[in-house]
């Protein structure tokens, strides 16, 4: 999963490096998903689901509180 996170073209992740995110499989709700957490603070950043659109087939559900929006 870490390789796919670093290669995605989603703009918000362009500011994160794979070293800043740790991942773990999460099956708490009886579905397969990957939990994303901050490497240093252990904050829950959200989840990645394997049912997204092509080409990656990944769907990101990111906690809005984990984002810092910057006006352009």
Domain ranges for the chain, please list them: 2-66
**pTM score > 0.75 for this model?**
no
Q: CATH number of the domain at 2-66, please? A: 2.170.150.20
CA separation for the pair 64, 12 (Å, rounded): 12
Name the residues annotated as catalytic: 61
- What's the CA gap between 47 and 66, in Å, rounded? 12
List the chain pLDDT tens, one digit each, 72 residues: 445 544 444 454 456 777 888 999 988 888 889 999 989 889 888 999 999 999 999 998 988 887 777 787
Query: Taking Cα atoms as reference points, which of 27, 26, 63 lies closest to residue 45?
Result: 63
């Amino acid at each position: 999963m870490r390789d796919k996170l670093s290669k995605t073209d989603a703009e918000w992740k362009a500011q994160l490096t794979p070293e800043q995110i740790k991942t773990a499989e999460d099956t708490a709700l009886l579905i397969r998903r990957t939990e994303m957490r901050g490497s240093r603070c252990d904050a829950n950043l959200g989840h990645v689901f394997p049912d997204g659109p092509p080409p990656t087939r990944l769907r990101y559900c990111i906690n809005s509180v984990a984002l810092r929006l910057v006006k352009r």
